[in-house]
Structure 1
Amino acid sequence: MNTTEQRKYWLDTLLLIGHPVLDALSRRRLKEELPTEFHADRSTFAHLEAFARLACGMAPWLELEGLEGEEEQLRARYAGLMLEAIDAGTDPASPDYMNFKTEGQPLVDAAFLAHALVRAPKQLAGRLDSRVKSNVTTALKETRRTAPSGSNWILFSAMVEAALFILGDPEYDRMRVGYAVHMFMDWYKGDGVYGDGKDFHWDYYNSFVIQPMLADVVAVFEQDSAQYAALKPVIMERARRYATVLEKMIAPDGTYPFTGRSIVYRFGAFQLLSQAALQHFLEDALPQQQVRCALTAVIRRTMDFPGNLDEQGWLRPGVYGYQPDLAESYINTGSLYLCASVFLPLGLLPSDPFWAEDDMKWTSARIAAGENVMRDQAIGK
């Protein structure tokens, strides 16, 4: 595929995955249509999970200005659908009103919705009318009843407050933000990796949650606090290093290590690498087009396998097709939509080097082809 075809493939894949969710919500029928048989005891959370996680990945594309032609028509259409979905999910009178009130899981996915608002401050947060904005604010505040444990969950609380700040709510809680940021400074383990709490876990939560949210929370509040502004370069250096590590984990055939929990979030495991491309904080030695080709290989290797979607187009648990035994007990159909976070670079214009530069082999493919590649190097603590 040439570069234009690669972008079209990414967008087509995002819409293939996301359209059933937004279409159902626009008709206020998500609760009727989303399959909830898989781990049915978690079904009360499934609708918010599917919607919020999709929004988190789609938001930068919806925010993008300067597109033309068919893609701009699609972007405008889906931005409208996303606004309708936000209304449907937060309106107490809607049949698709979502569960923000139960302690526990709703905080997680309120945070992913909050992250979407932070990533699209103009096209999503900025286009909510007063009624919907009030409903969203109320819904986000409902999750404050959950006291997060000493883990990545404290970043969910911080991200909710970041969205309230973006929405102009004067009652956002600085304490929740400060607690999360400073605890993760203490939990840093070295070489670009944080513990999930005080302990290190060998999984992808540094990419699923920790580093994307930490970087964006600090970016939101750096103008509000000199302390965050001082921490930001340190946080971004660590994120830059971890993005490099993620790229090196992509094998020549587009596979990657299937280790740790939540592996059925598929290529959502590479959210931080995608965010580094979107926000242009990749290491200088890691060309953007190399990252594009690496991520394209991951997406194609996954999507070319039959059985990822059911007959109605909903995601099924697995990495390659239907592999339900890979899913932990807390995962339902809605959880799987965190895979959409790999598509963040669609928030870059087609003229950006990420999309415009010629194909380039990624690190493992170059090494496997016998090329003389510069050795890797850790960063200091």
Structure 2
Amino acid sequence: MNPGLQDRVYWLEQLDTIARPVLSTLAARQLKATMPISGPGQDRSPYMHLEAMGRLLSGIAPWLELEGGEEQECVFREEFRLLARESMDAGTDPKSPDYMNFSEGYQPIVDAAFLAHAILRAPDQLWNKLEKRVQLNVVTCLKATHSRKPAYSNWLLFSAIIEVALYRMGEDWDPMRIDYALRQHEQWYLGDGIYGDGPQYHNDYYNSFVIQPMLLDISETMLGLHMEWDLMKPTFITRAKRYASTLERMISPEGSFPPIGRSLAYRFGAFQLLAQMALRNELDEAIKPAQVRCGLTAVMRRTMEIPGTFDDKGWLRVGFSGYQPDIGESYISTGSLYLCAAVFLPLGLAATASFWQGEEAWTAKKAWFGEGFPIDRAL
């Protein structure tokens, strides 16, 4: 079998392992009764269920939206489409025991944004095919976040992408929340493909966890509405190509990557931007899609096969490599950990795409094994 298609099978197996406990229990309206509470800080139970749903769906949405492929994968995908829509119903229905918190505290801004991002990435499966009743509930829940003020940081993008989703749904939306987020991030650009998280530079993975993926999808969705936003889009892409290239070089020959900055419990969610640029077919010309797949697969294997990553019921546990509860910040909970699903974005590419063809060493593997590799150049 083509090694790329073997990798795809492996990725789908890992998606199943990560996603099924969340979506199967939520679709059955038993998530709150079932999901274990974990995390080193204060009780995060008011937030962790929306965290799990929003982050997980955001990562698997392009795959849910994909059409065609091998029959076995199509059957598997259709199962998860139904689970995803039933989960959205359970999480937004006020009568559901799994009705989620969209308005108390500030954290709901974050995870309502991930849910909004999921809808933008799979508008047919996660919006058009929802029952009207569920659509109305989703809109009500997203609008409930309007009572919260985002922090002066990457959080501005959370408020912005919620408005983008409301626009996409045909609802009333606030262009100022979008405009402010885009303009502030332009002010916070530091150079060479990196934005500050707020006015200051933070040496972490938030350019990939949040900032650049949301800038890309906001500008893509709102194209043609305001000339000022349209003019930003090519710049966002150029910078994203550069930072995605940096991320690709961070993958060691063994599939490890540097434990830098906060939120390391999101594991390979750190590679969201690299995965997204592969999905968009907008990698730097010096990077072949297959080498990104091989690198990400190595990271996935290195991460998923460490004992302690899951508990005995299949739920993710706090850690960067296995179970490491001490590396979780006060805002980390079981639900937070599902941002790791962002690595699955390229599953939205058909199995015939070049990403899934052949085999190619990634940059660090070439470098450390004495092979030729491209010179790294700043923007």
TM-score bracket, normalised by the shorter chain, equals over 0.9
Counterpart amino acid of 1:353? S
Q: CA deviation at 1:223?
A: 2.0
Deviating runs (4+, > 6 A) in structure 1? Answer: none
- TM-fit CA distance, 1:47: 0.5
**2:129 paired with 1:110:** no
Match of 1:163 among 162, 165, 183: 165
Q: Deviations over 1:42-68 (max 9, x none)?
A: 111010001111001010000001223
Match of 1:369 in 2: 369
1:151-230 alignment, distance < 5 Å: 151-169=153-171, 171-230=172-231
Q: Residue 146 of structure 2 is aligned with which of 121, 144, 147?
A: 144
TM-aligned CA deviation for residue 287 of structure 1: 0.4
Q: Is the 8 A contact 2:289 2:355 kept in 1?
A: yes
Structure 1 match to 2:339: 338
Aligned to 1:234: 235
Kept after mapping to 1: 8 A contact 2:103/2:148:
no
Which segment is superposed worse, 35-44 or 157-166? Answer: 35-44
Q: Normalization by structure 1: what TM-score?
A: 0.98
Gaps of 5+ in 1: none
Q: Map residues 290-301 of structure 1 onto 2, 5 A cutoff.
A: 290-301=291-302
> Which residue of 1 is the match for residue 279 of structure 2?
278
Contact in 2 for aligned 1:40/1:332 (Cα 8 Å): no
Contact 2:248 2:292 in 1 (8 A): yes
CA distance in 1, matches of 2:42, 2:261: 23
Equivalence map 1:20-169=2 (5 Å):
20-38=21-39, 39=41, 41-169=43-171
Deviation, 1:101, is 1.2
| Contact 1:294/1:362 (<8 A) preserved | yes
Aligned-partner Cα distance in 2 for 1:282–1:125: 29
Aligned to 2:17: 16
User: Secondary structure of the equivalent of 1:42?
Assistant: coil
Identity %: 53
Distance 1:300 1:165 in 2: 39
Consecutive unaligned residues in structure 2, runs of 5 or more: none
Report the CA distance between 1:37 and its aligned residue.
4.0
Q: Deviations for 1:119-155, whole angstroms, at most 9, x for unmatched residues? A: 0011111111211111000000111111112100000
Q: Over residues 305-343 of structure 1, what are the superposed CA-to-partner deviations in whole Å (9 max), with x where a residue is unaligned?
A: 111000000000001111000110110000000000000
User: Which amino acid counterpart does residue 279 of structure 1 have in structure 2?
Assistant: R
**Could you tell me how far 1:19 is from its partner in structure 2?**
0.1
Aligned-residue offset at 1:40: 5.6
Answer yes or no: is the 8 Å Cα contact 2:291–2:360 preserved in 1.
yes
CA distance in 2, matches of 1:132, 1:56: 18
